[in-house]
Chains A and B, each alone.
Chain A
Amino acid sequence: MSNILSLTTFLPILGVLILFFIPKESKSVLRGFTFAVTLVTFLVSLLILTGFQTNAEFQFVENVPWIAAGPFVMRYNIGVDGISLWLVILTTFIMPISVMSTWKAVEDKVKEYMICILILETSLIGAFISIDMFLFYIYWELMLIPMYFMIGIWGGKNRLYATMKFFIYTMVGSLLMLVAFIYLYMIGSQAGIPDFSVLHFYNLHLDPSVQMWMFIAFALAFAIKVPMFPLHTWLPDAHTEAPTAGSVILAAIMLKMGTYGYVRFAIPLFPEAAHRFAPLLATLAVIGIIYAALVAMVQEDVKKLVAYSSVAHLGFVMLGIFAFNVQGMTGSMLQMLNHGVSTGALFLIVGFIYERRHTRLITDFGGLAKQMPIFATMFLIVTLSSIGVPGTNGFVGEFLVLIGGYESELRWWTVVAASGVIFAAVYMLWMFQRVMFGELNNPKNQKLLDLDAREIAIMVPLLLLIFVMGVYPNPFIAKMDPAVKKLVSQIRPASMDAAAKALAAVPVANAAESNETSEQNHTGMPAGHPVIPHEGQSTSPAINPHEAK
């Protein structure tokens, strides 16, 4: 039980070892076995979920020596907290689905394909659970390789360009990050930090100029992965060329690596720099939301449209993160999961029609709703979730992000971002209309078959999640809440803490600060100062009705 995280991480690798002994001609055995491995991994990961205690600490921690090379001490140090928990579960959940999704589409080099998927799974899970920063970096780089092959070998026409672009883009960022890691370690070892554990580095107080440069290096690496405007152009290419499973994994999980990087590393390690750059990054996030929505609107390729919609959604996530408050952060975490579920589902949907028609051009379709009613219903639900209609998951995350952003200093950014909900409706519904509605006049479309049992089986779990997370998100929020609160208190820079305390001592407590005080109390920070009444007004009017009249 204590090694459950390692088990989850390395089960896929174990699967790879066994895959080597399966002859490559027996494709269905290969597929079935891979599916079984991913499914077992998912089931094992559920043990993490059930065993997870709702608190802010890292759990299931495994910490053993790994590499000690001269001054560098790396440890195999892993664990999950409320922030990574759901991302791990999301990963293990998406994997069986993506294996199923290319059951028929990939006929070529099935064995290698499955090996790629399994290695990818290990590296993704590993990256989410790494506490040791060097370990994180290893996984972070490792995940590029299988994805590089997945796009480059099983991709579409323009796959080589896309995969090179994807690889080099990401590589540029991660090398900067590596340099920053090493520099950070150097500073850390002078301050007596014995290894690469990120927990040690959280307590390291760097001076602002160092923080700034380090943050730039980290932020750039993660911004490419997210991707943020204007570093997003690899994404539409990679998505359009990748096979369905590749797109699903890329969108559902790999992009989260970027936002997760911000939450886990870039912001808590360098809080002051993060605050300094918040307006810039929020601006980019908001531009991303609007820009990607507008560009998505005029796309001719369905998959590209979905790719651009990803950029817009991730813009919301970034905005929420840089709100630096509980709602925003929670909303962002939820939005990461939501995006994983609904954009993953969208790519599956696109995959379904691509497998049937071998085209993704919107103009080639029209009126499919008549021919494929089940498909139409599922597509509609996923579309609505992507738009963020209440009752679906998309709404909860987006709403929390926006309300968090609105409460923070990013109010005007949030107002602009909120207008993104209009554009989202425009491009998604317009696409839906052009694909599904209208006359069914293309003879090729008239012969289309509706979804088969396998495809329905793939979609149903996603659709269920869409509704569960939309109607009853509180269990999800509750698990991540302590960790999020801790994070929020942690990223409040020391200078602001001092300012808050100073302000609290002044007998006119104003808005933001009484908010902060209450949060501090929540998180057990040494606050303890009472909320000072606002001249003559009751602090809790909720229980103090309008006797002022």
Chain B
Amino acid sequence: MFDNVWLIPILPFIGFLINGLFGKKIKNETVIGTIAAGAVFGSFIVSCMTLYKLLSLGSEERLAEVKFFSWITSGTFNADVAFLIDPLSCIMIMIVSGVGFLIHLYSIAYMHGEEGFYRYFAYLNLFTFSMFLLVLGNNLLLMFVGWEGVGLCSYLLIGYYFHKKSAGDAGKKAFVMNRVGDFGFLLGLFTLFWYMGSTHNVWTITFSEMAKTSHLLPTGGVVTVITLCFFLGATGKSAQIPLYTWLPDAMEGPTPVSALIHAATMVTAGVYMIARMNYLFIRSPETLTVIAVIGACTALFAATIGTAQNDIKRVLAYSTVSQLGYMFLAMGVGAFGAGVFHLMTHAFFKACLFLGSGAVIHSMHGALHHAHSHDDAQDMRNMGGLKSKMPITFATFLLATIAIAGIPGFSGFFSKDEILWQAFSNPHHGSLNILLWGMGAIAAGLTAFYMFRLVFMTFFGECRITPKAKDHLHESPLVIVIPLIVLAGLSVVGGYIGIPKVIGEVLGGIPNYFEHYLDPVFKYSEEYMSVHGAHGGIHNIALEWGLMGTSVLIAIIGITVAYALYVSNTGIPVKFVAAFPALHRAVYNKWYIDELYDFMIVNPCKSFSQFLWKGFDVIVIDGAVNGVAKSVMALSGVFRLMQTGLLSNYAWSMAFGVVVMLSYFILK
């Protein structure tokens, strides 16, 4: 049935091998780019076929596993290299290959003339391959391979401009923070494997088996431990509090990388993982609470930082962290479908935003380069008025911004609103629900504010770039523009496959296709909920409409404020900063979280290590070892004085010895 599914990851892998091994010799950028993009396009085609085949099956039959070979077998442990095809993995491969292809295409023009062009595409292909492994793997370990693989590619691509120290640092930071998460992932895996094995003799890490046997797990207790461990993994990969600080730094990489890895695909892996194992998470109310609270806090917290950043990519980075927070909020309130839906719409509009910002940076960079100016091409304070210079970029960017701001009719509205409603109405968190909803709603307002602030600062007003450079600003080439248009289109219409129930009913009974599509994936959770707590939730259509109106209103307020501050009355932000310098400094410096981590963890760790080495290893251990040697030498230093080398001394001592011994034997 899904015989050719192996092609999906293998094609990019072949692309990686070709470009990685021979790219340097090929040299021709078109060839390299075509190989890389073509490989991903091939995957996209196969993904479409897979999705089509899947849809042709009845909803109950939409689950298939394709085994290739057994990977690690030892004792009770077995992990295969096998793929799981179900609605969730299908939607993921569609996003990865689709958005991935557009970004590959875009990169051909964006990376034009870069040293190491082949290296870039090799890494990008490797990333795509790993991402496919992550989403297709039928067991935890294979997922972990992809999980680490994407982290590795992220490291490589962040550090793409490796001659810059900041890039190297950012790459390392990303990798290490992800490793902290991986530690959690592994512990979760171990605990699950051990617990299920030792108590129920179910030695498995395969998702389908785990789903079938999940009813053996108790509520809470060990499941809380397992799921919290997995969630730690998710916070690392998906940049949630407390492990989010790597993502803004990751903007050191080329912009298309930020679009693909740090917005659309990799960072959503944590969300995917939770959705994949929803049957575990639903069994631990404690974990759900933790996830929901962390998600909501991250959404709000990152949004506050986003309001004060001047680097266009950093704003988008914090926006990504914030939007990921929404997805986790959705997971935490048990709205797995809504979370995955937001994952998808976010992939569209955030990829569009990043690529749009890339186009702007590219154009700015070129213009500044022509004018021999050393101004920062990413600083929004140098931009302004680009709307006439880059009309298509502006239009696509605006559409994506409207989508992320949650204006009705655009994709972001449907997904975000669904999450907010679920946050309010879910049966899991009791009175915490209002707080979760409130945080989400405020974050939505902030999102609208900072995103429109970005749009206004970049595209509106007058051009603040040096006049000499101004004439060199121009619209990007077609290869860059096409992906923008496609993604903008998806940002607009992408939401209509998942119209919330209340709206759908008004529009004449349009069902929420997306949620129905995902139903088989979440059926074990549904079953669990129908037994354990279906009565807790709120079902009030009027309230839902009311909340929807409120969140839209908040978004509009955000936009209005942004308009007031950055278009009609640009003096206010300056005055505001002057009035609250400390607040601005704190927000601008990201609440000093990086410094806090350095102070609390990194520096103590370094000085402790120094102590261990110079203090313990050298002084204590080696001191003891050398001490033994030295004391032996010192002792022999005393005894060797007896060796005078004088014959008479030896003769006398011998005679003396003979006398002593004789007298001993005689007198005995």
Chain A interface residues (CB < 8 Å from chain B): 165, 168-169, 230, 232-234, 291, 294-295, 297-299, 325-327, 330-331, 367, 369-370, 373, 384, 389-391, 395-396, 399-400, 402-404, 406-407, 411, 414-415, 418-419, 421-422, 425-426, 429-430, 433, 436-440, 471-474, 477-478, 481, 485, 510-512, 514-515, 518-519, 531, 534, 537, 539-542, 545-546, 548-549
Contacts and interface: CB of A to CB of B under 8 A. Distances in A.
B199 A414 contact: no
B73 interface: yes
A439 B163 contact: yes
Given A437-B159, A537-B216, A539-B200, 14 more contacts: A233-B622, A294-B605, A294-B608, A297-B605, A299-B613, A327-B77, A390-B141, A390-B145, A403-B189, A404-B75, A429-B176, A433-B168, A472-B69, A540-B202
Given A325-B75, A390-B145, A390-B149, A542 B613 contact: no
Contacts of A549: 215, 527, 531
A473 B186 contact: no
B235 to A, nearest CB: 14
A78 B487 CA distance: 69
Given A406-B190, A421-B183, A541-B213, A519 B75 contact: yes
B204 interface: yes
A399 B141 contact: yes
B76 A518 contact: yes
A406 B610 CA distance: 31
A298 B155 CA distance: 22
Nearest to B162: A437
Given A426-B176, A437-B159, A534-B200, A545 B610 contact: no
A510 B209 CA distance: 21
Contacts of A438: 162-165, 168
A121 B447 CA distance: 67
B609 interface: yes
Interface in B95-145: 141, 144-145
Given A327-B75, A399-B141, A541 B176 contact: no
A168 B531 CA distance: 69
B613 A295 contact: yes
Question: Which of the four size classes fits the interface of chain B?
Answer: 35 or more
Nearest to A440: B163
B22 interface: no
Nearest to A295: B613
A539 B202 CA distance: 8
Contact of B172 (A230, A295, A430, A519): A430
Interface string B586-618: 000000000000000000011011101100010
A13 B613 CA distance: 41
Contacts of B617: 233, 295
A468 to B, nearest CB: 13
Given A390-B149, A414-B190, A425 B609 contact: no
A298 to B, nearest CB: 4
B186 A421 contact: yes
B263 interface: no
A399 B202 contact: no
Nearest to A291: B612
B207 interface: no
B94 to A, nearest CB: 25
Contacts of B77: 327, 400, 403
Contact of B202 (A370, A473, A541): A541
A419 B76 contact: no
B175 A429 contact: yes
Given A429-B175, A438-B163, A474 B71 contact: yes
Nearest to B21: A377
Contact of B72 (A169, A233, A295, A396): A396
Contacts of A481: 74
Q: Interface of chain B, helix or strand or loop or mixed? A: helix
Highest count of chain A CB atoms <10 Å: which of B162, B175, B202? B162
A222 to B, nearest CB: 18
A389 B155 CA distance: 12
A165 B626 CA distance: 9
A165 B630 CA distance: 12
27 contacts: A230-B621, A295-B612, A298-B606, A298-B610, A326-B74, A330-B74, A331-B74, A395-B145, A404-B75, A406-B190, A407-B198, A411-B194, A415-B187, A421-B179, A425-B176, A426-B176, A426-B179, A429-B175, A438-B163, A438-B165, A440-B163, A474-B73, A477-B72, A515-B201, A534-B200, A540-B201, A541-B212
B544 interface: no
A539 B201 contact: yes
B168 A437 contact: yes
Contacts of A291: 612
Given A539-B201, A549-B531, A418 B187 contact: yes
Contacts of B163: 367, 370, 437-440
Given A422-B180, A472-B69, A389 B148 contact: yes
A123 B636 CA distance: 34
Contacts of A399: 72, 141, 186
B70 interface: yes
A86 to B, nearest CB: 14
A22 to B, nearest CB: 39
Contact of B198 (A437, A510, A531): A510
Given A437-B159, A439-B163, A400 B74 contact: yes
Nearest to B610: A298
Interface in B616-632: 617, 621-622, 625, 629
Contacts of A426: 172, 176, 179
Contacts of B417: none
A515 B76 contact: yes
Q: Which 3 A-B pairs have the closest CB atoms?
A: A511-B198, A326-B75, A390-B145
Contact of A473 (B24, B72, B193, B201): B72
A384 B152 contact: yes
A350 B214 CA distance: 49
Nearest to A539: B201
A399 to B, nearest CB: 7
A472 B71 contact: yes
B191 interface: yes
Contacts of B162: 367, 369-370, 436-438
A525 B59 CA distance: 48
